[in-house]
Amino acid sequence: MSTFLILGASGNVGSVLSTTLEQAGHTVRRATSRPAGAGQVHVDLATGEGVGAALDGADAVFLLSPPGHMNQDVTLGRVIDEAVARGVKKAVLMTAMGADADPTAPLRKAELHLEASGLAWNVIRPNWFMQNFNSFWIHGITHHGAILLPTGNAKGSFIDSRDIADVAASLLQRSDLDGQAFDLTGGEPLDHDAVAAILSEVAGRTIRYQEVTPDEMRPGLLAAGLPADYTEFLLTILHFFKLGYSERVTDAVERITGKSPRRFQAYAQEYSAAFV
């Protein structure tokens, strides 16, 4: 059995991933930026505090950059370098679909840093999470009965974060796919009108999609506490959604896990209480 360090262990992906690995008999160190509790290790990615100690004796690490940070190449690069120094054997890095489109983008720099590190590696690039609708976009749904986004009528192959966790768990425990990157998507492209119809069905009330402009969305993001640079980054990638870059469907989830990705209808039903 192996020892795994999981960054973002309290998030949608990391929490499921941690449980899955523990159920398989492995030792899991759950990284947290808060004071560490049972089964947790304190790691401050912004300063590097605790990174070395958390990696000491670990066999592999799951890497991601928490939302709100734009210097992912610096924060993740520090962890990658420390993993090499501490004798870690493998890293699985989660970025985002499209991260490889611009070699100067911080996330792509982090990917390239990992590839050149000498560690065994995988990169997973998921599309937009289904769970965004019960978290980041829930305010508009709850208070206005509307999904408020600047995405036009473009479609997205939304992915359930639990499928991402299943992929990461598989890659951390195997070596036959080392040295490869995978774009992860759900199995069906949906526009936000279709999403709203599904959410309306499970909630038993009308939820609609209402397109807003980036200028209309920006104040709400800033008011929610997002830094200005990250707000602009989010608006930029939402614009790429509107241009159709999120519609593509891949078979990576099924190839890696042996299971078809969860459908949006199933996600909505399981999370229906959030939309009532």
**Which residue type is seen at 190?**
L
* In a shared domain, residues 33 and 55: yes
**pLDDT at residue 246 in the model:** 98
* In a shared domain, residues 25 and 114: yes
Assigned domain for 113 exists: yes
* In a shared domain, residues 64 and 96: yes
**pLDDT at residue 75 in the model:** 94
* In a shared domain, residues 121 and 214: no
- The DSSP 8-state label assigned to residue 57 in this structure reads T
| Per-residue pLDDT tens listing for the chain (276 residues) | 999 999 999 999 999 999 999 999 999 999 998 888 888 999 999 899 999 999 999 999 999 998 777 899 999 999 999 999 999 999 999 999 999 999 999 999 999 999 999 999 999 999 999 999 999 999 999 999 999 999 999 999 999 999 999 999 999 999 999 999 999 999 999 999 999 999 999 999 999 999 999 999 999 999 999 999 999 999 999 999 999 999 999 999 999 999 999 999 999 999 999 999
* In a shared domain, residues 150 and 75: no
Neighbour tally for 115: CB within 10 Å? 15
What Cα–Cα distance (Å) separates residue 86 from each residue in 53, 61, 121, 246, 251? 9, 12, 16, 37, 35
* In a shared domain, residues 113 and 37: yes
CATH number at residue 9: 3.40.50.720
CATH number at residue 203: 3.90.25.10
**pLDDT at residue 34 in the model:** 84
**pLDDT at residue 33 in the model:** 86
Assigned domain for 252 exists: no
**pLDDT at residue 37 in the model:** 85
> Residue 43 and residue 79: Cα distance in Å, rounded?
10
pLDDT tens digits for 68-119?
778 999 999 999 999 999 999 999 999 999 999 999 999 999 999 999 999 9
**pLDDT at residue 89 in the model:** 98
* In a shared domain, residues 104 and 136: no
**pLDDT at residue 35 in the model:** 85
Assigned domain for 33 exists: yes
Q: How many structural domains is the chain composed of?
A: 2
- The DSSP 8-state label assigned to residue 212 in this structure reads -
* In a shared domain, residues 84 and 216: no
* In a shared domain, residues 202 and 233: yes
Q: Note down the domain range covering 145.
A: 128-159+185-247+259-276
* In a shared domain, residues 132 and 51: no
**pLDDT at residue 36 in the model:** 85
Of 77, 104, 126, the residue that ends a domain is 126
**pLDDT at residue 198 in the model:** 98
Assigned domain for 239 exists: yes
The burial of 132, by beta-carbon neighbours within 10 Å (0-12 exposed, 13-18 middle, 19 or more buried), is given as middle
Assigned domain for 164 exists: no
* In a shared domain, residues 140 and 239: yes
